[in-house]
Structure formats: C-alpha cells, structure tokens
C-alpha cells in the first residue's frame, strides 16, 4: 500500500510587509486506499495542505513523499469550461492517445449524466457540475484525488447525494481521497479517517474502527471539543 508521507512541512505566505506561517512542522501519513478527511475551521491551513501536496505552491521547509502516485485535484468550484460540453470538459487536459471514447462514456454513465453528455455547464445544476468535475479527475486514471470542499456551495440534499456518490465511485474505482471540509457531519458521513486540523497542524486522528466503536453521537461531541480547543 502506497502512502503520502509528509515530514516537518512548513508553508508561509507573505502578506503586505509580513510573513504568515500557515503550515507549522506538520507531520502526516495518508493512506492511499482510504477516504481521509481533513476537518477544521476556516483559515486553519486545509487548502494550503492540499495545494502543497499537489505542488501548486512552494514549501518553505519539509518533505512530501508521494510514491509516484498519479494525483488529481478537485477544486471547491467545478471550474468547467463554459464553451465545452460535458464530454469535452471531462477529456479536457488529456492527451489524444489517452482518450478512450468507450471509457469516457462509461464514466459519464457512472456519474448519472448519460442524457447530458452534450450539455453545456450553463444547462446543468450545481450538483451536476460537481459530478463532471469529479469525472474529469477520474478520467486521468488518478490513484489519489485531492478534494477541496467540492460540495460546500450546494444545498443539503445535493451534498448528501454527492457524498454517497463519492463513496460509491471510490469503491468502484479503487482510488484514495484526501477531502477537505469544515462540516463535522460531512466528515462523519464519508471518512475512513478524520484528521482534525488547527493552526497549521494535525491535532488528532480518528480511525474507522474507533469511530464505529463509540458511535456517531459521542464522535460528534469529541470532534466538536477538539475543534474548540486550541493547539498548544
């Protein structure tokens, strides 16, 4: 089993005339065959962690080992090309030799958009656009997907549906996920592992066995307490 291994990771940003440290000596091993959820308040460094893993931002110090994993990224906004239809958006960025029409059609069926293959983003709901964004990540044959609050802007029922869809696709396609959210309920719904993040550090880790043992009510209370306490 491959892992993403992070050691002593530090990331800072310059804001006007001062430097703000966002990730602080962060250490973390992420299993590449599970859905791991980073849960924390806004501004704690969740998105910065994802961007550092993907290589979208420079790191100040530390090591990120990715074991040759093919990693894809799903942003908070679907970021679909308005002038491309569903099919064209999914294959966008793939090399010509990587496009297999049969596989793409199967992927479109898998996300439930067979009748919308030729539809443009303006003709789709927010939930549909999110599904296209996820399908685009899967089309790259990614072994691991980074997901930055992809369902945050959706209504409760659409979010719940897409959480279930994510779990279904994860089981069908054998990929790992690092999913960022500030919603305790969302984390509990989808996670094999919950990582509590605060002030640029991973504060606590919950595994599936423990979560199932204590039950949802106690788990929710423990997580809420974790989020209310500050990292020492």
pLDDT digits (tens, 9 = 90+) for 157-199: 888 988 998 998 899 888 999 999 999 999 999 999 999 999 9
User: Which H helix or E strand runs over 13?
Assistant: strand 3-15
What's the whole-number mean pLDDT along residues 7-29? 92
Q: Do 27 and 76 meet the contact criterion of CB atoms below 8 Å apart?
A: no
For residue 97, pLDDT beyond 80: no
Per-residue pLDDT reduced to its tens digit, 63-87: 999 988 899 999 988 899 999 999 9
Question: Model pTM?
Answer: 0.90
Domain ranges of the chain: 3-70+144-229, 80-141
Distance CA 109, CA 135 (A): 10
> Residue 2 — very low, low, confident or very high, per pLDDT cuts 50/70/90?
confident
CA distances from 39 to 66, 159, 223 (A): 21, 16, 9
Closest CA to 46 of 71, 23, 14, 15: 23
Q: Do 142 and 175 meet the contact criterion of CB atoms below 8 Å apart?
A: yes
**What's the CATH number of domain 3-70+144-229, 3.40.50.300, 3.20.10.10, 3.30.710.10, 3.20.20.100?**
3.40.50.300
Q: Considering just the CA atoms, what is the radius of gyration of the chain in Å?
A: 18
- Exposed/middle/buried for residue 45 (C-beta within 10 Å: 0-12, 13-18, 19+): buried
Q: Is 184 helix (H, G, I), strand (E, B) or coil?
A: helix
Distance CA 232, CA 224 (A): 17
Pairing relation of β-strands 176-181 and 35-39? parallel
Residues 172, 209, 164: CA angle, nearest 5 degrees: 35
For residue 212, pLDDT beyond 60: yes
- Exposed/middle/buried for residue 49 (C-beta within 10 Å: 0-12, 13-18, 19+): buried
Distance CA 113, CA 185 (A): 27
What pLDDT score does 158 carry? 86
Instruction: Quote the percentage of the chain above a pLDDT of 70.
Output: 98
What's the whole-number mean pLDDT along residues 52-68? 93
Distance CA 116, CA 34 (A): 30
């Amino acid at each position: 089993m491959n892992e993403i291994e992070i050691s002593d990771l530090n990331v800072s940003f310059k804001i006007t005339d001062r430097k703000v440290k966002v990730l602080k000596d962060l250490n973390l091993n992420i299993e590449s065959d599970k859905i791991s959820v980073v849960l924390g308040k806004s501004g704690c460094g969740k998105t910065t962690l994802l961007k550092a893993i993907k290589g979208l931002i420079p790191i100040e110090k530390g090591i990120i080992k990715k074991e040759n994993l093919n990693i894809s990224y799903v942003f908070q906004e679907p970021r679909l090309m308005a002038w491309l239809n569903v099919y064209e958006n999914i294959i966008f960025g793939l090399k010509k030799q990587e496009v297999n029409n049969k596989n793409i059609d199967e992927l479109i069926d898998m996300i439930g958009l067979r009748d919308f293959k030729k539809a443009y983003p303006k003709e789709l709901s927010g939930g549909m656009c999110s599904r296209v964004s996820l399908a685009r990540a899967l089309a790259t044959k990614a072994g691991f997907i980074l997901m930055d609050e992809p369902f945050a802007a959706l209504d409760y029922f659409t979010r719940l549906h897409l959480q279930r869809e994510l779990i279904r696709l994860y089981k069908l396609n054998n990929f790992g996920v690092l999913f960022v959210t500030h919603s305790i309920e969302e984390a509990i719904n989808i996670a094999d592992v919950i990582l509590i993040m605060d002030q640029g550090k991973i504060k606590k880790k919950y595994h599936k066995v423990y979560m199932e043992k204590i039950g949802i009510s106690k788990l929710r209370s423990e997580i809420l307490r974790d989020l209310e306490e500050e990292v020492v």
